[in-house]
Amino acid sequence: MESIFSKARNKRRSIGWKLTVIARQLRQNFDQMTKLEGLTRAKWTLITAVASNPGATQRAIARALELREITVGRLIDRLCEEGFLKRSANRSDRRAYRVHLAGNAQVLLHKLDDLAKIHEAQIFAGFSNDDLDRLDDLLGAMARNLSAARTDRAAS
């Protein structure tokens, strides 16, 4: 009987499995790099989410990160205390606050950018620009297929 770890006979299944393994390895490798710098995944993912969506509410950030609001709220509290984030009043909803980057976040974002460049150089060693363009196109097509399948299931 063929093991799940042996080469699958089905090419699509084999590629799907490789993508799953690669995604996990990408996370693990980057987590190892950031831990050496004293950063946790929770901290840097939240700060980068706020950097990408300045002024987002805790609820919007929780949705984007696929985490519970209470979990995100506690982490925001901690990161505000550490000087990475700050809250501001939300004029359209007094029950919610807007979350923004604070001064310490810029240093962390620069550090993450440097680590990401090293990580990317390791991952894509030997890839030409044409290879990267083709890979980007193929992964984009896969993402669209997954999105369409999710939409079809939701409509059913």
- The backbone torsions φ and ψ at residue 134, rounded to the nearest 5 degrees and listed phi first, read -65, -45
Distance of CA 80 to the CA centre of its chain: 21
Domains and CATH numbers, the chain: 11-125 (1.10.10.10)
- DSSP lists the bridge partners of residue 87 as 99
117-126 mean pLDDT: 97
pTM of the model: 0.77
CA pair distance 143, 5, nearest whole angstrom: 25
Mean of pLDDT over the chain: 90
Q: What is the pairing mode between strands 85-89 and 97-101?
A: antiparallel
pLDDT digits (tens, 9 = 90+) for 60-114: 999 999 999 999 999 999 999 999 999 998 777 777 789 999 998 999 999 999 9
